[in-house]
Amino acid sequence: MTASSFVAFAARSKFVAPCAIAAIDAPITEKIKNRFMPTMKHRNGKSCDDFWSAATCRRFQRPDMPAQSHLRFQKASLREAVRVAHRATATVEPLQSAPSADLVRDLKIMPADRKQNLILFLPDQQRADTLACYGGVKVHAPNLNKLASESVIFERAYVTHPVCTPSRSSLMTGTWPHINGCTRNSVPLDQRFLVFPELMEDKDYRNAYLGKWHLGEDGPAERGFQQWVSTDDHGDYTNFLLSKNITPDKSNERFSELAISNLPLELSRPRFLEKHACEFIEKHQRDPFILVVGFVEPHSPYHGPLNDEHPLNEVELDKTAILPESEDIPLRYRLMREWQQAEAILDRERLPTQLFFGITPDEYRSIKQRYLGLVTLVDQSIGAILACLERFGLCDDTIVVHTSDHGDSLGAHHLFGKETMFEEAARVPFLIRRPGETRSKTIQQPVSHIDFVPTLLDLLGQPNHPQCAGKSLLPVINEAAAPPDNVFLEWAPNRTKIKKGTRLARRRLIKRAVEESTRTVVSPDGWKLCLRDKDSNELFNLKDDPFETRNLYSDRQYASVISRLTGEIHRWQESARDKLRI
């Protein structure tokens, strides 16, 4: 980029470049100096040379001003320098592209009173331990690992409800699923509940939702978002594939998940969303914006263009995937396990290379290998979007958040998917990178997604909304909070599939188990209590037993712990207007 192009860029984008003009071109510097110095001498009484030296070296001081006023003065002065530079340049070349990342960094371009942007990455079904900061050191996720190295890391972040729609309802509205009605998959979010952009008092933001929504047929475009790029059936991604002459494998010009999972890398959903995200950033680089990127991956089917990204012999299984199957787990979990294993036997014949479920450790390892390939696929697109931010000089203006709607058992406890209160399904990654932060900070206390929306609002300088049940986590981040709180999770019936002719229990007990509801508390001191209305209860000491191999609920020596935590659940139910009797 030439000097005059850069000047044009700076003027158009309202960026302040303290040393920029002097650093690019001596003749232009002289023109600015000659035009700018008389004005400054008249305004502040200092000599022109003093001001010019200070302004171009970013050391201009006004001791008579408070710090904030001094900063505003510097910015205003430097903005004027850019405007003068623009006028002083005889020929301004058309701006063909944004300045390079190196130029932006070297010239230390700073925003002039610019509102902060927000990008939220929301992959579906990503476990916490797929990132190095959570123990996944062998997972190929360099971009997310770099993001984590500059972020606040919530080490023990939990969803409100470990399945897609209920969890997403909390992430978008700040309310509990039992309040907003999204207590199982595919329940539409009631129009009475506002979603995140509608909760903002500041309406100047441009916003877009790209990807998976899963909160009903009324998509983001009908719920406060100005743009929606859909990956649903008959949506934008389907149209994209049709435009590439890809033949649908289902009726009504639809593509199955298996067909999509077999597409080449350049046609994958993450690459599609990456392209649209970068286009949005480029289009709104001068506006404050909110961008949500909802990846479908690494959700099953566990198959994609990077299946072999991770060497099979380096894929580590969970401890409980290798241990014998436990019978000391709720009946609903055992029914899930039995059905999944029956499906795995059928899949060995119909989908030998694309198993949804497994039975043996070798099958578990193969499935997890492909799952991790999907994590890498998402990571690559996240890296490209972050590079786009850097390319347009927006890193110092943009808050970046990464989390997931739930995890995946991936063979742990001999289960797959979510729908349990085990750590693998209920605990998720949660990262927040704030502008100007270059080092990570780990928050070890448990936190809940119920506080997600209030935290985003606070990060953007917005007040919390009365609809929200939670509170901002910024005091926790800034170490100004009260003692750590308990975290609560809930579960409601969600069409549990069972093996035809199962004999795991009597029909009456099976019917009760598949209709069970759960309320769970995770305490700051490492206890997890799961109370159920129609199935067995669980108590785990996560400090001593992080893999949840020993259910202590029936052990009398823990009666006082159970009593204390039961009281915590009941008090939370009262405050959260939860009417479940448990």
The confidence score (pLDDT) of residue 482 equals 72
Q: How far is CA 35 from CA 13, 17, 26, 47, 79, in A?
A: 22, 17, 14, 14, 14
Q: What's the rounded Cα separation, in Å, for the pair 261 and 257?
A: 6
Q: How far is CA 21 from CA 17, 59, 176, 568, in A?
A: 7, 15, 53, 61
Q: How many CB atoms lie within 10 A of CB 186?
A: 13
The confidence score (pLDDT) of residue 107 equals 43
- pTM of structure: 0.82
The pLDDT tens digits of the residues spanning 141-170 come to 999 999 999 999 999 999 999 999 999 999
Q: Give me the residue spans of the domains in the chain.
A: 3-111, 117-482
The confidence score (pLDDT) of residue 85 equals 44
The confidence score (pLDDT) of residue 39 equals 42
For 117-482, which CATH superfamily applies?
Answer: Alkaline Phosphatase, subunit A (3.40.720.10)
Residue 217: phi and psi, rounded to 5, are: -70, -25
Cβ neighbors of 484 (< 8 A, separation 6 or more) are 445, 446, 524
The confidence score (pLDDT) of residue 95 equals 42
The confidence score (pLDDT) of residue 538 equals 99
Q: Which of 566, 580, 573 is nearest to 538 (CA)?
A: 566
Q: What's the rounded Cα separation, in Å, for the pair 454 and 289?
A: 18
The confidence score (pLDDT) of residue 101 equals 52
Q: Residue 418 has which token pair?
A: 């979510």
> Which residues partner with 522 through β-bridges?
487, 528
Strands 527-532, 538-541: pairing kind: antiparallel
Residue type, 150: E
- Name the stretches of the chain with pLDDT < 50: 1-29, 31-33, 35-96, 103-112
The confidence score (pLDDT) of residue 248 equals 93
The pLDDT tens digits of the residues spanning 205-261 come to 999 999 999 999 888 888 899 999 999 888 999 999 999 999 999 988 899 999 999
| Half-sphere exposure of residue 48: CA atoms within 13 angstroms, side-chain side | 10
Exposure string of 36-55, with b = 16+ CB inside 10 Å and e = fewer, is: bbeebeeeeeeeeeebbebb
Q: Which of 292, 469, 302 is nearest to 375 (CA)?
A: 302
The confidence score (pLDDT) of residue 36 equals 43
**Contact status, residue 446 vs residue 188, Cβ threshold 8 Å:** no
**Contact status, residue 536 vs residue 547, Cβ threshold 8 Å:** no
Helix (H, G, I), strand (E, B) or coil at 307: coil
How many helices (H) and strands (E) would you count in the chain?
A: 21, 15
Angle at 174 between CA 198 and CA 289, to 5 degrees: 40
Q: Please give the sequence-ordered ranges of beta strands (E in DSSP) within 467-507, or none if there are none.
A: 487-491
